[in-house]
Amino acid sequence: MAGTTDYSPAMAIQWCPGCGNFGILTAMRRALVELGLEPSQVLMVSGIGQAGKFPHYLHSHVLNELHGRPIPAAQAAKIANHELTVIAFSGDGDGYGEGGNHFISAITRNVNLTYLVHNNQVYGLTKGQASPTSDFGFVTKTTPKGAWEPLRPLALAVACDCSFVARGFSADIEHLTDIIKSGIQHNGFSLIEVLQPCVSFNHQNTYDWYRERIYRLGRDYDPKDRINAFAKALEWGERIPIGIIYQKDRPVYEDQLEAIKDEPLVKQRLDPTQFEPLLNEFM
Amino acid sequence: MAAEINFMIGGEAGQGVQTIGFILAKALSRAGLHVFADQDYESRVRGGHNFYRVRASDSELQALSEQLDVLIAIDQNTIENHHGEVKEDGVAIFDHDKLKVAGKKLNSLSIPLENLAEKITSNKLMANSVAIGAAIAVGGYAFELLDKVLKEQFAHLGKYVVDSNVKAAKAGYDHAIQSKSEYIRKPIKSIKLNHRILLNGNEAIALGAMAAGCQFIAAYPMTPASSIMEYIAEKAREFNIVAIQPEDEIAAINMAIGAGFAGIRAMTATSGDGFALMTEGYGLAGATETPVVIVIGQRPGPAVGLPTRTEQGELAFAVYGGSGEFPRAVLAPRSIEDAFYVTVKAFNLAEQYQIPVVILTDHHLASSYQTVNRFDLQKVKIDRGQLIPDKEAKNMTEYKRHKFTDSGISPRLIPMPGRSLVVTDSDEHDEAGHMIEDAGIRTRMMIKRMKKIDGLRNEIASPRSHSRPNAKITLIGWGSTYGAIIEAALMLEYDRLSVNVLQLNELWPFPALAVTSALTKAKINIVIENNATGQLSQLIRAETGIKPTGNILKFDGRPFSPSYIVKEVKRQVA
């Protein structure tokens, strides 16, 4: 059985001291250990941005992709070898901006993988520009008069009938660990947005700002009620809910594939001569 | 002297021109002839003017002829646009009551296409089947030849459709025979071709990919590449292949890369404009050393250009495209048969060198049909390169995905549970795959990656040459123009002008030695390309220092015909 030390950083961590990503790292490490997953059972696929560096700070198979593109590669890798637990990582810029089209399609395709979007409402790696989720009026170098209306990604996900939609807070590690575990265990595409303060470039949405607003969804909340979930997904401002917002069992893409019914594609033998009957069709 | 017959069927989109054109090609192939066929169509679903050409001969064919023996006109545009192509002893088949030939010199045979269709099947749309029956009669063939092909082609639409089409075709056939027309020919003698298949370039690429062990294709529909994915998707279930139509071309290439990283053979297919969206992923495959095969079906650009026409405008794009510098291979099949074997080679090179490999085809090759030797599946060898075998993988404690080696190739481990960890990054990385900023490691990693070109260069086959030792002229082409150029060379020879031909099908890394040696032999070197700027010509200059003496460039969206090349060569050497 793997312990948390098996998931120690594979290289020196480059995040700023106090970065919200540290909490996510701790929660992820705990979730993997508690689920009994060995590093070699896990493939992490990430984009570019501070969240893109995340897989290097654990131990697993890693494909650090282009900006905005982890999701297409993660889906294909899962289809190629569904014995791997696939987890993908983006930031708000990577996942909701550059990769927006992939995000929507991944929701509808519903490949069984977990997608963590580290949302700090600002671009960190490129040093402080507005992101798709920056609050209205948020002043940055690229939005000197303030950012325009933000995207509500979780509402978009519920609208697209995403099979698992959750939100966590990087400073609430215990809660986040449980959410990550639920997401990995869920059969289908699991979106987990993690609110994660950027201590260097976002002085508006700080740890305190989030703490004042965040509340955990209670036991009486029913994540199967889509209309209610849509309302919860839109809730932002005075109060911000965290927890599993929406969950629905939907057909999983690769479960419908005849090609991988018996064994993963990657383990199948290749035989050129099996195509002789196809040539007959051209005679 | 070779015997041949050339047909053209013309009509509006939606009149079934393509369907009956293909049936005619298939019937003539079954009659034991060599066949070459292609379609010329507009980017629309109904109306406009489309035509399908079928050439059949008792000797091998690589191109189309511009001279017609039989013109089958379903609409007036066909007569207006093509009457001049009908030979003096050729004939046009159409309904004299419906279409007019006013003022044009044209032999004709009237067949009431629509009336017969309506009378026999109560459906005017069957006029195309009536026409094909008449065409087979004029060619001198027995109806049975057509009967069988019609039944096969319409089988999936049910018995009623099959019977109606057969009846309509028989009516057209009988009407033509009863006319006792002087234009009914003696059939070209069958040459008993065994092991021949009739297919188009995209089908050859799809079959090549499947035979090579491709288990995954992600492609966004775009003419002229769409039918590669469509064919594989149709057969996917039977052969355990996954075919995905993703949200865009960017997703397509990143999916193929994800599948390649996970350890299976994967591809994507698009046109030049789709590849424009993929260039970011092209570089990712280069940086992460992930095998991927990309088919670019060229069509005239820039931007959307002419979607249903042909061009060779993406050679430089494939060779130089992408941010930064990374090794890649660019292959351009010269014929339908070549497309199959080149595709197999593309998958092997991609894994042996852990690089992106481009197959550069074009609309002309993609959609032309030709009878070719049945592909030899025994000859298909799958070489997965330096893949660490299961046994060794189990005992490995620390794996370095990008290990420095003399060849630049790092042994590849497939990420699996119970194995060493496989790590790679689009950021510059160290041997273990983790991101770095160190100048020394960066330099060594670039050298390691680029070193792979040395080995790759030795894999590139010499261009196909048609040598005439005393010829002062060499014609140089690449990819799909081979058929037209080689036929032009034979025509020039008939006119006592001897020429060599050098046709490149494996273009990058550039076979500089072979090209230099061929070009220094002749005084006149003419590069023939379906583009406006002479991209091969520029590549020859850059890679060999030789400036070709002339160019024949065509960028009207139409393929070269042999006679066009003959005329241009004669003009340039006069």
pLDDT at position B290 is: 98
pLDDT at position A45 is: 98
Q: Which residues of B touch A66 (CB under 8 A)?
A: 254, 280-281, 284, 426
A76 to B258: CB separation less than 8 angstroms, yes or no: yes
B53 with B170, same domain: the answer is: yes
Q: Which residues of B touch A69 (CB under 8 A)?
A: 250-251, 254, 280-281, 284
Query: CB–CB of B89/B514 below 8 Å?
Result: no
pLDDT at position B66 is: 87
B389 vs A5: CA distance, rounded Å = 29
Q: Which residues of B touch A45 (CB under 8 A)?
A: 258
B356 vs B157: CA distance, rounded Å = 41
Whether residue B385 lies inside any domain: the answer is: no
B132 with B236, same domain: the answer is: no
Give the distance from residue B297's alpha carbon to the nearest chain A alpha carbon, in angstroms: 22
B209 with B107, same domain: the answer is: no
Query: CB–CB of B82/B75 below 8 Å?
Result: no
B135 vs B156: CA distance, rounded Å = 24
Whether residue A43 lies inside any domain: the answer is: yes
Backbone angles phi, psi at B415, to 5 degrees: -65, 120
Position of tokens 């511009």?
A: B66
Our count of domains for chain B comes to 4
Q: Is the CB of B236 inside 8 Å of chain A's CB atoms?
A: yes
Instruction: Say which residues have a Cβ less than 8 Å from residue B78's Cβ, sequence separation at least 6.
Output: B8, B10, B11, B49, B51, B71, B72, B94
B432 with B542, same domain: the answer is: no
Q: Which amino acid is at B506?
A: E
B163 with B244, same domain: the answer is: no
A21 dihedral zone (left: phi>0; alpha: psi -120 to 50; beta): alpha
B263 to A38: CB separation less than 8 angstroms, yes or no: no
User: How many of the other CB atoms lie within 10 Å of CB of B309?
Assistant: 23
Q: If 0-12 CB within 10 Å is exposed, 13-18 middle and 19+ buried, where does residue B162 land?
A: middle
B569 vs B574: CA distance, rounded Å = 8
Our count of domains for chain A comes to 1
Q: Please compute, for residue A13, the number of CA atoms within 13 A of its CA located in the half-sphere on the CB side.
A: 16
| Residues pairing with A130 in the sheet | A122
Containing structural domain, residue B448: 390-459
Give the distance from residue B255's alpha carbon to the nearest chain A alpha carbon, in angstroms: 4
DSSP string, B242-285: EEE--SSHHHHHHHHHHHHHHTSEEEEEEEHHHHHHHHHHHHHH
Digits of tens for pLDDT over chain B (574 positions)?
689 999 999 999 888 899 999 999 999 999 999 999 999 988 888 888 999 999 999 999 989 888 999 999 999 999 999 999 999 999 999 999 999 988 888 999 999 999 999 999 999 999 999 999 999 999 999 999 999 999 999 999 999 999 999 999 999 999 999 998 899 999 998 887 778 999 999 999 999 999 999 999 999 999 999 999 999 999 999 999 999 999 999 999 999 999 999 999 999 999 999 999 999 999 999 999 999 999 999 999 999 999 999 999 999 999 999 999 999 999 999 999 999 999 999 999 999 999 999 999 999 999 999 999 999 999 999 999 999 998 888 888 889 999 999 999 999 999 999 999 999 999 999 999 999 999 999 999 999 999 999 999 999 999 988 888 889 999 999 999 999 999 999 999 999 999 999 999 999 999 999 999 999 989 999 999 999 999 999 999 999 999 999 999 999 999 999 999 999 999 999 8
B472 with B531, same domain: the answer is: yes
B336 with B271, same domain: the answer is: yes
B522 dihedral zone (left: phi>0; alpha: psi -120 to 50; beta): beta
A279 vs A275: CA distance, rounded Å = 7
Whether residue A266 lies inside any domain: the answer is: no
B510 vs B80: CA distance, rounded Å = 46
B501 vs B493: CA distance, rounded Å = 12
B313 vs B249: CA distance, rounded Å = 19
B439 with B528, same domain: the answer is: no
**Does an H or E element contain B501, and which?**
strand B499-504
Whether residue A264 lies inside any domain: the answer is: no
A260 vs A119: CA distance, rounded Å = 35
Q: How many beta-carbon contacts under 8 Å exist across A and B? A: 187
Q: Which amino acid is at B249?
A: E
Is 0.95 topped by the overall pTM?
yes
User: In the numeric block, which tokens belong to residue B513?
Assistant: 């030695």
**Does an H or E element contain B553, and which?**
strand B550-553
Q: Is the CB of B242 inside 8 Å of chain A's CB atoms?
A: yes
Whether residue A81 lies inside any domain: the answer is: yes
Query: CB–CB of B149/B162 below 8 Å?
Result: no
Instruction: Say which residues have a Cβ less than 8 Å from residue B1's Cβ, sequence separation at least 6.
Output: none
- For A162, B108, B216, B239, B510, the CA distances from A256, given in Å and listed in that order, are 18, 57, 15, 15, 44
Whether residue A52 lies inside any domain: the answer is: yes
Whether residue B306 lies inside any domain: the answer is: yes
Whether residue B384 lies inside any domain: the answer is: no
Digits of tens for pLDDT over chain A (283 positions)?
789 899 999 999 999 999 999 999 999 999 999 999 999 999 999 999 999 999 999 999 999 999 999 999 999 999 999 999 999 999 999 999 999 999 999 999 999 999 999 999 999 999 999 999 999 999 999 999 999 999 999 999 999 999 999 999 999 999 999 999 999 999 999 999 999 999 999 999 999 999 999 999 999 999 999 999 999 999 999 999 999 999 999 999 999 999 999 999 999 999 999 999 999 999 9
**Which among B197, B250, B258 has the least Cβ separation from residue A75?**
B258
Nearest to A28 by CA among A17, A42, A12, A48: A42
Q: Which residues of A touch B218 (CB under 8 A)?
A: 72, 76
B95 vs B72: CA distance, rounded Å = 10
pLDDT at position B1 is: 65
pLDDT at position B465 is: 85
B117 with B203, same domain: the answer is: no
ipTM: 0.98
Whether residue A270 lies inside any domain: the answer is: no
Domain end, chosen from B405, B440, B459, is at B459
- For A263, B48, B86, B373, B380, the CA distances from B238, given in Å and listed in that order, are 15, 38, 46, 25, 20
Nearest to B500 by CA among B522, B478, B527, B533: B522
B560 vs B554: CA distance, rounded Å = 8
B239 to A105: CB separation less than 8 angstroms, yes or no: no
Give the distance from residue B467's alpha carbon to the nearest chain A alpha carbon, in angstroms: 33
A107 vs B133: CA distance, rounded Å = 52
Position of tokens 């999916």?
A: B255
Alpha helices (H) in chain A, listed in sequence order: 21-34, 70-80, 92, 100-109, 153-159, 173-185, 207-213, 226-234, 276-280
Q: Give the angle B314-B319-B325 at the CA atoms, nearest 5°.
A: 135
Residue A96 DSSP one-character state: I
Containing structural domain, residue A197: 4-258
A255 vs A252: CA distance, rounded Å = 5
B88 vs A134: CA distance, rounded Å = 75
DSSP string, B324-369: S----EEE--SSHHHHHHHHHHHHHHHHHHTSEEEEEEEHHHHH-E
Query: CB–CB of B463/B479 below 8 Å?
Result: no
Whether residue B521 lies inside any domain: the answer is: yes
Q: Is B185 helix (H, G, I), strand (E, B) or coil?
A: coil
User: What is the total residue count of chain B?
Assistant: 574
- B434 to chain A: nearest residue by CA? A56
Angle, helices B512-519 vs B535-544, to 10°: value is 100
The CATH number of residue B504's host domain is: 3.40.50.920
- For B51, B187, B308, B556, the CA distances from B41, given in Å and listed in that order, are 7, 29, 7, 14
- Which of 424-453 (B) contact A at CB < 8 A? 424-427, 432-435
User: How many of the other CB atoms lie within 10 Å of CB of A245?
Assistant: 27
Q: Which residues of B touch A11 (CB under 8 A)?
A: 434-435
**Does an H or E element contain A166, and which?**
strand A164-169
**Does an H or E element contain B394, and which?**
helix B390-395
Whether residue B189 lies inside any domain: the answer is: no
- A268 to chain B: nearest residue by CA? B240
Q: Give the angle B471-B472-B474 at the CA atoms, nearest 5°.
A: 85
Give the distance from residue A63's alpha carbon to the nearest chain B alpha carbon, in angstroms: 5
B258 with B290, same domain: the answer is: yes
Q: Which of B237, B264, B382 to mutate to test the interface with A (most CBs of A within 10 A)?
A: B264
Query: CB–CB of B208/B343 below 8 Å?
Result: yes
Whether residue A281 lies inside any domain: the answer is: no
Domain end, chosen from B400, B431, B459, is at B459
Angle, helices B249-262 vs A70-80, to 10°: value is 40
Q: Is the CB of B235 inside 8 Å of chain A's CB atoms?
A: yes
The CATH number of residue A58's host domain is: 3.40.50.970
Whether residue B15 lies inside any domain: the answer is: yes
Whether residue B185 lies inside any domain: the answer is: no
Q: Which residues of A touch B254 (CB under 8 A)?
A: 65-66, 69, 72-73, 76
| Residues pairing with A244 in the sheet | A166
**Which among A40, A105, A266 has the least Cβ separation from residue B246?**
A105
B431 with B487, same domain: the answer is: no
- Which of 55-84 (B) contact A at CB < 8 A? none
A260 vs B397: CA distance, rounded Å = 29
B295 with B440, same domain: the answer is: no
- B211 to chain A: nearest residue by CA? A272
Domain end, chosen from B149, B178, B207, is at B178
The CATH number of residue B96's host domain is: 3.40.920.10
